[in-house]
């Protein structure tokens, strides 16, 4: 009988690739997984419902960030920057705006990386920064699939390689802690060294993405104009208030570790200052929440899906079954452990949640196969990170889609999930296996 996790993730991915809405795919996949795992319809629905609350915080955060993003658009701050970029494009018309193109790509890449360590706001920057720049990106005919790959690289690679910010949580508090808890001596292990080769795989994937999506792609400018105000009037006061609101939102988020309170304070600053009129507050708030509604519902459904997977108890069964297939081969063992990690993370949608599940079984198995401590850390860390890119339910793919699809011209599955899966999971799988063999 097929493992419930394989059945659930398989059904979810097939439906998603068939352009069935991701929320429906997650619900149907959860039902298939629960029933094939022996839970029965009542227990499956109970587990799914109990898991919904796990995604509610992030969903509400995104709804408020959407409202905050609309208020920023109203102030004209981002559009002032976009106007300057457009002026640069016009001046560089003869060269096709190449300098502006690379400047914008570099900006999004740098901010995505900084969002994991220097200013650990994770995906919160995307609804604020990307939509106003979309008009310029479209004028340059940049393929949005490349932008999705650039941002996803910045959201994943820093936490799996640099022990700072979210990387400190993933590498030290989760990865090393769980490997040590399973009985391996981690003293003297440089976690950056352990994850260096897999991180190089991510870099290779990014380089390939620049080749894959190098050609220009035409989008409908009129559709952007319908959802993004491209002719906003602004003045020094509105720009100053916008700067204060953004700074306040980020500072409060860092101090309180709450995107919800940060976005709310930012929105209130716009309201109190008069940049957003009181009588317009309700409409703007509703508009912003509608903009982020799809992402929020996917995150909520994904939490329910993950809870059903855990309730079946077959994540553990899958990991244990892989141990039986391995035998005594290090090469086969490393490959199977990485593949199981890919499958589990694609279903759960979170590398941070996957590592503790995998470490409990994989660490003793790695010891039995004779892997060195640093190779064990690499295998478990890479197995956990695999699937963060390319998962329909991961915030590392949902985040880029939320910014790139405001005009309905960027499909979550085919324009974010599939490109990031091909360009990051496949190199990460190959480089992770090589690292396990040589460390």
Q: Which pLDDT value is given to residue 230?
A: 52
What single string gives the DSSP state of each residue in 325-349? HHTT-HHHHHHHHHHHHHHHHHHH-
Alpha helical stretches, state H, 92-195:
98-114, 126-139, 144-161, 166-167, 177-181, 191-194
Report the pLDDT value the prediction gives residue 128, as an integer from 0 to 100: 73
Q: Where are the alpha helices (DSSP H) in 171-231?
A: 177-181, 191-194, 196-212, 221-227
Q: Please, what are the averages of pLDDT over each run of 10 residues along the chain (439 residues)?
A: 81 85 86 88 88 74 75 72 69 65 89 80 77 83 94 93 84 88 85 94 96 93 71 72 82 77 84 78 75 73 82 77 74 88 79 78 84 92 88 86 88 93 95 94
Q: What is the reported pLDDT for 292? A: 67
Which H or E run includes 57?
Answer: helix 40-75
The predicted pLDDT at position 414 comes to 93
The pTM assigned to this predicted structure is 0.80
Please give the pLDDT value at position 153: 95
Structure tokens at 207: 């380089």
Residue 257: per-residue pLDDT: 72
Distance between CA atoms of residues 153 and 178, nearest Å: 25
DSSP for 386-410, written as a single string: TTSTT-TT-HHHHHHHHHHTTTS-S
Instruction: Check residue 20 and give its pLDDT.
Output: 86
> Do 153 and 424 touch, CB atoms closer than 8 A?
yes
């Amino acid at each position: 009988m097929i493992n419930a996790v394989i059945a659930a993730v398989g059904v979810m991915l097939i439906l998603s690739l068939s352009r069935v809405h991701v929320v429906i795919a997650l619900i149907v996949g959860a039902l298939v997984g629960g029933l094939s795992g022996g839970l029965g319809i009542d227990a499956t629905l109970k587990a799914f419902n109990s898991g919904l609350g796990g995604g509610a915080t992030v969903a509400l955060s995104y709804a408020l960030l959407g409202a905050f993003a609309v208020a920023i658009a109203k102030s004209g701050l981002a559009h002032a920057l976009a106007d300057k970029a457009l002026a640069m494009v016009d001046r560089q018309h003869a060269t096709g705006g190449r300098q502006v193109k690379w400047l914008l790509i570099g900006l999004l890449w740098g901010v995505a990386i900084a969002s994991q360590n220097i200013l650990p706001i994770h995906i919160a920057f995307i609804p604020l920064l990307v939509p106003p720049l979309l008009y310029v990106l479209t004028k340059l005919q940049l393929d949005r699939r490349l932008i999705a790959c650039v941002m996803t690289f910045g959201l994943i690679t820093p936490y799996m390689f640099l022990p700072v910010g979210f990387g400190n949580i993933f590498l030290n508090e989760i990865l090393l802690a769980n490997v040590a808890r399973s009985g391996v001596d981690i003293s003297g292990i440089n976690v950056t060294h352990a994850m260096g080769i897999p991180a190089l795989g991510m870099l290779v994937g990014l380089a390939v993405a620049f080749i894959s999506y190098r050609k220009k792609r035409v989008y409908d400018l009129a559709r952007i104009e319908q959802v993004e105000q491209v002719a906003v009037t602004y003045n020094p006061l509105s720009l100053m208030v916008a700067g204060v609101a953004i700074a306040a939102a980020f500072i409060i988020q860092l101090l309180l570790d709450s995107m919800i309170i940060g976005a709310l304070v930012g929105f209130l600053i716009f309201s109190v200052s008069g940049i957003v009129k009181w009588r317009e507050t309700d409409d703007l708030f509703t508009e912003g929440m509608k903009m982020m509604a799809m992402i929020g519902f996917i995150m909520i459904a994904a939490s329910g899906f993950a809870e059903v997977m855990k309730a079946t108890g077959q994540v553990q069964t899958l990991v244990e079954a892989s141990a039986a297939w391995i035998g005594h081969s290090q090469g086969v063992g490393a490959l199977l452990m990485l593949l199981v990690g890919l499958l589990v993370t694609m279903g759960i949608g979170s590398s941070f949640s996957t590592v503790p599940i995998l470490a409990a079984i994989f660490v003793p198995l790695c010891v039995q196969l004779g892997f060195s401590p640093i190779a064990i850390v690499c295998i478990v860390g890479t197995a956990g990170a695999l699937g963060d890119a390319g998962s329909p339910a991961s915030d590392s793919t949902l985040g880029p889609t939320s910014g790139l699809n405001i005009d309905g011209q960027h499909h979550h599955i085919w324009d974010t999930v599939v490109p990031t899966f091909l360009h990051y999971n496949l190199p990460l799988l190959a480089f992770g296996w090589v690292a396990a063999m040589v460390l």
